[in-house]
Amino acid sequence: MSHHGRLRLCRAGMAALLLLAGLLPACSQRQQLTIFCAASLSRVATGLGRRFAEQHPGWQVVVEPSGSQVAARKVAELGRRADLVLSADWRVLRDILLPEHAPWLVQFCSNEIVLAYGPHSPHAEEMDAGNWPRWLLAEGVRLARANERTAPIGFQTLQVWQLAERHYAGKAWAKNLASNLRARVAPRHVVDDIDKLVGLLQTRAVDYVFVFRSSAEEYRLQFVALPAAINLGDPGRADTYARVAATAELGSGRRVQLPARPVIYGACIPASAVHARQAAQLLRMLLEAPGAAELRRSGFRPLQPASCRGSCTKLPGVLAPLLR
């Protein structure tokens, strides 16, 4: 081949490479939906995102799990953009995001609190729903809890302890039970979210943790089911639960006394969402029958129908028919 022929071939090859380089980003670029979610919903949110991506080529869903207060405050205080926020207590969304950062929220499932333990946990064989506080106060037992400033399971655990003190009144070990249990938790064993609690138990750093039943089932933990009068899982006992309260942090320096309520999860699409229409489709998938079935398999109890709070006239059209 002549010198000029080789030069033309080289130029053609370079042109092809440049064309390919220009096309590759366009071919590989995918739109991104972002979910900030309670750590206890991480698996459900990840599965939901996978199904959405399968049904909507060109989209990917990124899930950022954390404590629910952390998730909401990333939007309200740090200006982070999320397309969907899922909280383990709907009041976190109401008090941090509504109405300034989101017009409405959806209540979509419930849960209950259990006492989880491992094969290494002392007194597990003697423990049941009627005597668990006695054994948690026994010598050498290590207890952990979530931080009430970062995650609902933190303030809900404190509320469970107060309810237990009332429920077991008359037992010698029930006197000052809530404060005694709180004193039993070493500062290093107060952690940010439920995943870290489970990690402490699985690594045998502690013996017992209070977690959502869904998390205990997800991680295949052994657990003591608590009486309905104290586990925050019975909507019919809302008035009984509300007799106690715990401090929660719902903003920078803003601490409030929250009465105990049944555990109800919430979802909202922030006003700053970049992909609000797609987020509404994603939330619809969670509320429809397949999403409800996945919630149920994961240990949650779907609310059917789900309900709306806030400016519900602003609900996207794809969601309104599914809510009361």
pLDDT higher than threshold 50 for residue 20? no
What pLDDT, on the 0 to 100 scale, is given for residue 324?
86
Residue 13 reports pLDDT greater than 70: no
Domain boundary among 238, 259, 280: 259
Flag whether pLDDT at 3 surpasses 60: no
Three-class secondary structure of residue 219 per DSSP: coil
Instruction: Please give the C-alpha separations between residue 127 and each of 123, 224, 243, in angstroms, as whole numbers.
Output: 6, 8, 27
Q: Any idea what DSSP says for residue 176? A: T
End position of a domain, from candidates 241, 259, 277 = 259
pLDDT score of 9 more than 90: no
Answer yes or no: do 232 and 121 share one domain: yes
- CATH number of the domain bearing residue 39: 3.40.190.10
Q: Are strands 31-38 and 84-87 parallel, antiparallel or unpaired?
A: parallel
pLDDT value of residue 8: 53
Q: In terms of C-beta density within 10 A (0-12 exposed, 13-18 middle, 19 or more buried), how is residue 53 classed? A: middle
Sequence-ordered strand ranges (E) for the chain: 31-38, 59-66, 84-87, 104-110, 113-117, 143-146, 185-191, 208-212, 222-225, 245-249, 255-259, 264-268, 301-310
Range of the structural domain that residue 89 is part of: 28-111+263-322
Q: What is the CA radius of gyration of the chain?
A: 24
Q: Sorting pLDDT into bands at 50, 70 and 90, what band is 23? A: very low
Averaged pLDDT for residues 78-98? 97
The contacts of residue 145 (CB under 8 Å, 6+ apart) are: 154, 157, 158, 185, 189, 190, 191, 197, 209, 210
Residue 18: inside a domain: no
Q: Residue 124's pLDDT is what?
A: 97
Give CA–CA dist 114/52, Å, rounded: 32
pLDDT digits 0-9 by tens, 233-269:
999 999 999 999 999 999 888 899 999 999 999 999 9
The span from the CA of 42 to the CA of 64, in Å, is 8
Which H or E run contains 277? helix 276-287
Most confident of 7-21, 22-36, 118-132, 241-255: 118-132
CB-based burial, 241-264: b 16+ in 10 Å, e otherwise = beebbbebbbeeeeeeebebbbbb
Reported as a single tens digit per residue, the pLDDT across 170-214 is 999 999 999 999 999 999 999 999 999 999 999 999 999 999 999
Average pLDDT, the chain: 92
Last residue of a domain, one of 259, 278, 298: 259
Give the per-residue pLDDT at 251: 85
Mean pLDDT of 107-130: 98
Looking at the 3D structure of the chain, how many domains does it have? Answer: 2
286 and 255 in a common domain: no
Instruction: Tell me: do 244 and 305 sit in the same domain.
Output: no
Across 1-15, 26-40, 307-321, least confident range: 1-15
Dump pLDDT digits (tens) for 32-72. Answer: 999 999 999 999 999 999 999 999 999 999 999 999 999 99
Residues 137 and 69 in one domain: no
